[in-house]
Structure 1
């Protein structure tokens, strides 16, 4: 199966996934393959071009991925053999993505040609030092390059492990569902410190689900999915995260990558 053109749909919270996607695009283009990058949060799944190879990229969250990412994946239109590959980035382990997504896409008529999970720096709970993060990024980008090359050579694969991953997938959905409870939003949700906030509005502009409004200062609604963008990219460090060790944050790219 020869890949000629790719529409690559991606979501990246704090930049890890975007680094991987850019490395893969670089590898594809060296092989003469044309790639169009599409921000998943700004894309309508019903508008995808089924005559192209489809790429999907996103971070792991709660052993699976974010509800709005699953919503996009669940809303993909039926296909008739359209080739699709996926890559996700994670801190350590997922378990609830590769098999379940393979099954979903297969049932919709897609041809899953490759899946890859790439360990990158944590952006939540514990933030590593610069040296440790650099090591993970370098190793992750090498794996991304190898995966992209394998796709062009027809040497990639997308395994299907139906039982345990399906259970983990359900657990992941349950975990993410808990995050959306009002009580969780109240206790763990974000709130800008007025003493530090300069009212720039960047947090609202880069929120992928439009959960933040600016009313003099940022106002959070109750649908945050904890992608960590607003926390990590606030230029004033005005949005603390209660669950991050010592309040540290991680960002792998510059904020301009997410400005709409």
Structure 2
């Protein structure tokens, strides 16, 4: 059994969940690889007997880079697949997005798993929620889900894997499904502030150019953020020189209006 786990990650949370699952698959004797979206090829998806696709949750949905990758895959008729995600606030339709895109390629998506992860979004009202997640319990649950996948595949069962989240396969039409629906990349560019570069701090190391998940930063001669920015703030969070900043005065209120702890507690499970 050849298993490829393809993941998009910003801060490492989703990668760590992928690796926890991979341990179980390897213990079962399966040939397993974990593959970052930055280095993956279409062939990596095509050649797998079992394909896992994972991502973080952006604005209660799957982020643009992983969705674009899935849209560009060839047909995967009856390919066994599963999806997984990490979320620090309200997962909304993140699993459903991944499932739907694989389903349009005729893949047989047998399960979906969600883990919690610390929020690294730099909006002051969000940053730092769910500290130290994913934790040992999250990794245990990821391994248990992987063990269910092993049993499912070895048994030849049809249908869905035990322990899969129901919102993988069907929208709940809840509050955060609506938030995801209106939070297109264009809307986020309009609502959320664009990262700004401090030239005095920048040493032109090109880290941001390489790490931008939509290849939207180029040196000219200093980094310039282009018009395709999806407001993921990878440049802000990860710049080794702390050269990027964001003015959150108004946008923080917008984020708080949708993702305050009361709303995420009520509607964000």
Instruction: Find the residue that maps to 1:38 and give its secondary structure.
Output: strand
Whether the 8 Å CA contact 2:10–2:234 is kept in 1: the answer is: yes
Matched residue, 2:218: 213
Task: Describe the shift of the 1:108–1:216 C-alpha distance in structure 2 as closer, same or farther (beyond 3 A).
Answer: closer
Distance 2:38 2:145 in 1: 24
CA-based RMSD of the aligned residues comes to 2.7
Task: Describe the shift of the 1:146–1:236 C-alpha distance in structure 2 as closer, same or farther (beyond 3 A).
Answer: same
Matched residue, 1:164: 173
Matched residue, 2:195: 190
9, 13, 17: which one pairs with 1:12? 9
23, 30, 34: which one pairs with 2:31? 34
Instruction: Find the residue that maps to 2:184 and give its secondary structure.
Output: helix
Whether the 8 Å CA contact 1:54–1:82 is kept in 2: the answer is: yes
50, 54, 57: which one pairs with 1:57? 54
Q: Say if 2:93 is the partner of 1:96.
A: yes
Instruction: Find the residue that maps to 1:204 and give its secondary structure.
Output: helix
Pairs aligned (count): 236
Distance 1:173 1:73 in 2: 19
Q: Say if 2:182 is the partner of 1:174.
A: yes
Whether the 8 Å CA contact 2:206–2:219 is kept in 1: the answer is: yes
Distance 1:88 1:148 in 2: 14
Q: Say if 2:127 is the partner of 1:127.
A: yes
Per the TM alignment, residue 236 of structure 1 is displaced from its structure 2 partner at its CA by 1.5
Higher relative contact order (CA 8 A, sep 6+): 1
Gaps of 5+ in 1: 246-260
Matched residue, 2:262: none
Deviations 1:194-223 (A, max 9, x none): 122222111111112111112232111011
> With structure 1 as the length reference, what TM-score do the two structures score?
0.79
Whether the 8 Å CA contact 2:85–2:95 is kept in 1: the answer is: no
Instruction: Find the residue that maps to 1:134 and give its secondary structure.
Output: coil
Distance 2:9 2:141 in 1: 18
Instruction: Find the residue that maps to 2:3 and give its secondary structure.
Output: strand
> With structure 2 as the length reference, what TM-score do the two structures score?
0.76
Distance 1:177 1:55 in 2: 25
